[in-house]
Structure formats: structure tokens, C-alpha cells
Amino acid sequence: MRSMTRSLAAALALTALAYGPAAAQTTYKCVNRSGVTYSQVPCPGGKELGSGARKATDKSVPPPQDRATVARRSTLTAEERQECRSLEVKMRDQQAQLKALGSGASLQDEMPLVHNKKRYREIGC
């Protein structure tokens, strides 16, 4: 029963550490003869659990999708991987040119981009 109470106290302390106002302070886990205690002041042999510094993530940045591309291209030959990279550059430039033309772009202006996209899919980039 006593160890269960200690476990519950430890869980509550860690929860308070993570979510409460104490999250801005460093907490130490102190182990002594009477058991485990948590404190904001350092103790002999105490272990620092966390500081108030929280990780900030930028949610506006999309996650990297490189792993899927690498996995897809792992079965391709070196020449095909190089062709994929060059097609990506060409298609990016062609899309920028089409965007610059705006609504004045004709079918003839779009055809090189269409052919490069087709080749990109055929290779399996």
C-alpha cells in the first residue's frame, strides 16, 4: 500500500511537472532511505528531471517527405535517379515559366512540362 502511494505521488509530481506552473522550473528526483522525493532544489545524488525550456515546433512547416522519395528511388539505377533529379529541376523551371505567362500560356507552352511529368511517372521517381 505504501509503495502504491509513493507511485501515485510520483505520477502526480511528474504530471504537475509536465502540465502545471512548476514546468518553468527544474525538478530533481531525490532518492534516500525514506524513499523517492521530488524537489525544486538540488539534493545529494539527485537527478535533474527537466528544465522549464519547452520545445517549440513550427506547425507551419510541412514535415519532410524525403523518406518516401528515397524508398521509391532505391530500386532505380543510378542513371534513373540522376534523370529524376534533372527532371525535377526542369519541371520546377517550366512551372515557373508557365506561372509567369499566366492565362496567356498556350498548349504549346505546356507540352514540355507534360512530357517531363509523363517521363517522371514512367521512371517511377
Please tell me the predicted confidence (pLDDT) of residue 66. Answer: 78
The amino acid occupying position 124 is G
Q: What is the pLDDT of residues 1-54, one digit of tens each?
A: 555 556 656 665 666 555 555 445 778 888 888 888 888 888 888 888 876 566
H helix and E strand count, the chain: 4, 3
Q: What is the pLDDT of residue 10?
A: 63
Cβ-based neighbours of 28, under 8 Å, separated by 6 or more: 38, 39, 40, 41, 42, 43, 46, 47, 48, 49
Structure confidence by residue, pLDDT tens digits, 62-112: 767 777 888 888 899 999 999 999 999 999 999 999 999 888 888 899 999
Judged by phi (left if over 0) then psi (alpha if -120 to 50, else beta), residue 90 lies in alpha
Phi, psi of 104, deg, nearest 5: -85, 0
Q: What is the pLDDT of residue 67?
A: 79
Summarised one tens digit per residue, pLDDT across range 99-116 is 998 888 888 999 999 999
Give the span between the Cα atoms of 20 and 3, in whole angstroms.
Answer: 24
